[in-house]
Each structure stands twice: as C-alpha cells, then as structure tokens.
Chains A and B, each alone.
Chain A
Amino acid sequence: MRFDHRAAAVALCLTVAAFTGACQKNGTQTSSTSGTEGTTPSAQGVQVARVDLGTSLANDNTVATQTNTFLPNQTIYASVVTNGSAPSAELKTRFTYQDGQVVDESTRTIAPSGQAVTEFHVSKPDGFPVGKYKVEVFVNGTSAATKEFEVKST
C-alpha cells in the first residue's frame, strides 16, 4: 500500500476550499467596488454604470450634448451614472492632462438608493491648454472608470 501524498494534498485543499473559498490561484475575483475592509458595508453596492462627457447637462444631470472633444473655453461635464444603494459612498473624479499633471480632483459623498446621476464639471477662465486629457472616476477610493477626451483649438 502506497500513500499518495499528492492526492492527499489535493484532497485536503479541496476540503479546505469548500469551507473557506480558498485555493483560487487563477481567476481571482474581487469586488470592483469594495471599499475599506472592516468598515461598514456602506458603498459595496454602488457601481459605476457609465461615464458620459459633454458640454451641457439635462435636468437629470445626464449629459445633454455628448462629446469627447472640447474647445478650450468650454465647461467640461462628466456625468457619472451609478447603480446600487448605500448610506454613504464617496465618488471622486480626477482630471489629468496628457503630461500626467492633475487638473482637478473633486469628491462628492452621496447616499443613493438605486440609480443616481452625479455630475462633475471643470472650467478654466483662461482656457484649457490644447491636448489630451483623462478623467478617472473612483468609488470609495477604488478606480471604477476612465474616460479620455481632447481639447482642440477649433
């Protein structure tokens, strides 16, 4: 009689996995909206459904005129559509220029119950420099979406 150590190890792992959900070396799944571990499950249910960019807003905070190209003197609106409910969820946008410079960071704490639309906007009195930009959206500090856009002179 030979004791198969390898088979025993696999069996042990499978048993442990059944109880702990461990043994996932591949395809590890994590919640993309998880906040800080150990705190209240406040914003676990809030996900970014989409981010739209444009030059004006409708009454419901959605973008009325979608575009990814702006003129230097235009106000740039980023409309963030979220799904889910939470007693508190922090949305943050970070606008960056092509050289990595941070153009603006804004946060808004919301208590959504179902779909919500949160708009962030930036403007520059003397005009944005021409070039490529990016806006990144975070939910409770975790990056949830990124959108690129461009400022052109004409």
Chain B
Amino acid sequence: MADDKKQSRPDFSNVQSGSSSTAPSPAQDGGAGATYVVKPGDSLSKIARHHYGDAGQWHKIYEANKDRIHDPDHIEPGWTLRLP
C-alpha cells in the first residue's frame, strides 16, 4: 500500500529574491553587480520593493537598464536586469 505521499510538487515560480552586500560591486571594471531575471507579473516597482524594500526605488533599476528598458511600464519575462 502506498502512502499518501503522492502530492503534487510545490510551485516555486513566484518566489521573489534579492541580495545586497557591504562590498562594492566591480561595476567600475565593467563587471556586474546583482542581476535579476524578470518573472511573469513583475514590474520595476515590484522588483524594487523586494530588492531594496522600497517600490519607489524602481527608477534606479530603470536607470541601470536604460539600454534595454525603453518604457518603464513594460518589462518582459526572461530579461536579465542589472540591480545597482
């Protein structure tokens, strides 16, 4: 007899994550700091809230990714954004 262990696998697709460091990023050498891969349903303010604890910091992400983001209200899932 099988146990009732056959449960559906949990869905982790909406997990939000972020990071920060007391050490500087090597950005001045052309390197990258933290990056974030846009997930479905994300917005710049949502990402800012999770990474900086303040949705109002969305413009920092926008400024750091102006080469890719032309309209701050439009980001695509799968894009890798730099997080300054």
Which positions in A face B, CB cutoff 8 Å? 60-61, 82, 87-88, 91, 93, 95, 97, 99, 101-104, 106-113, 116-126, 129
B21's closest neighbor in chain A, by CB? A118
Provide the bound-state CA to CA distance between A125 and B11, in Å. Answer: 12
What CA separation (Å) do A125 and B13 show in the bound complex? 11
Is A122's CB under 8 angstroms from B16's CB?
A: yes
Verify A118–B14 contact, CB threshold 8 A.
Answer: no
- A88 to B30, alpha carbons, bound, how many Å? 11
Contact of B29 among A87, A91, A101 (CB under 8 A): A87
B17 close to A104 (CB less than 8 A): yes
Using a Cβ–Cβ cut-off of 8 Å, how many residues does chain B contribute to the interface with A?
Answer: 23
In the assembly, what is the distance between CA of A125 and CA of B17, in Å?
11
Question: Quick one: which of A82, A87, A103, A108 contacts B34, CB cutoff 8 A?
Answer: A108
Inter-chain contact B10/A111, CB cutoff 8 Å: no
**Complex Cα gap A122–B39 (Å):** 14
Contacts of A93 on B, CB cut-off 8 Å?
A: 19
Which residues on the A side are within 8 Å of B25 (C-beta)?
108-111
| Docked CA distance A117–B20 (Å) | 9
Tell me the complex Cα distance, A103–B13, Å. 8
Say yes or no: A103 contacts B15, CB within 8 Å.
yes
For residue A106, which residues in chain B have a CB less than 8 angstroms away from its CB? 17-19, 34
In-complex Cβ contact of A118 among B12, B16, B23 (8 A): B23
Per CB-CB distance, the 10 closest pairs between chain A and chain B, nearest first, are A116-B23, A112-B23, A118-B21, A111-B26, A110-B23, A129-B10, A88-B26, A108-B19, A120-B19, A108-B34
* Residue B9 CB within 8 A of the other chain: yes
Chain B residues with CB under 8 Å of A124's CB are 12, 14-16
Q: Which residues of A contact B22 (CB under 8 A)?
A: 60-61, 116-118
Q: Contacts A88-B29, A88-B31, A123-B50 known; A104 to B19 CB distance under 8 Å? A: no
Counting CB contacts under 8 A, is B40 at the interface?
no
Question: Is A118's CB under 8 angstroms from B20's CB?
Answer: yes
Inter-chain pairs besides A61-B21, A101-B12, 19 sampled, C-beta below 8 Å: A61-B22, A87-B26, A99-B9, A103-B12, A108-B19, A108-B21, A108-B33, A109-B25, A109-B31, A111-B24, A111-B25, A116-B22, A119-B19, A119-B21, A120-B18, A121-B19, A122-B15, A123-B17, A125-B16
